[in-house]
Amino acid sequence: KHGKKVFELRPKVDWNKGSAVLWILQALGLNQCKEDIFPLYLGDDVTDEDAFVALRREHPQNGAAILVRESGDEERKADTSAEYVLRNPDEVLIFLERLTQVQEERVGAGAGAGAGARHSA
C-alpha cells in the first residue's frame, strides 16, 4: 500500500495493522472489552484503515477509531472507516491531555470517596 511518505511492503500473509491491534488486545487479555477498557486507535494514513475497520468491527461499543488529518487534507474524512476525526496533530495533544485530565478526575473522585469512607469507619 502507498501511504504518506511511506511505501509499505507486505509479506504474503493475512496480517495488517488491524490484525496487529486485535492480536495485542488478545495477548493482553483485553479482547473481551469490559466497561473499564476502551481501546483507542489514532492514525493519520491510509495504511491505518485496516485498524479502523477491525476496531469498529470487533469493539463497536467499547472502542474508537480516530483519523488524524493534516492541513489541506479535508476530503480524507469522506473515505475513512474512522468514527472520529481530529483536524491536525495539535488536536491529538489536546485530546490526550483532556483524556488524561478526565481519567485523573475519575480516579481522584473514586479515591477520595473511598478514602473518606475508610477514614470515617
Domain extent listing, the chain: 2-87, 89-121
Rg, the chain, Cα only: 18
Task: Tell me how far apart the alpha carbons of residues 16 and 71 are, in angstroms, rounded to a whole number.
Answer: 27
Give residue-wise pLDDT tens across range 31-62. 776 677 789 999 998 889 999 999 999 888 88
| pLDDT attached to residue 23 | 93
Residue 114 and residue 108: Cα distance in Å, rounded?
10
What is the pLDDT at residue 119?
A: 36
Count CA within 13 A, CB hemisphere, residue 74.
1
2-87: what CATH class?
alpha beta
| Residue 30 confidence (pLDDT) | 84
Residue 121: pLDDT above 50?
no
Angle value at C-alpha 81, between 80 and 87, nearest 5 degrees: 55
Share of the chain above pLDDT 70, in %: 76
The helix/strand/coil state of 7 is strand
Instruction: Determine what percent of the chain is predicted with pLDDT higher than 90.
Output: 46
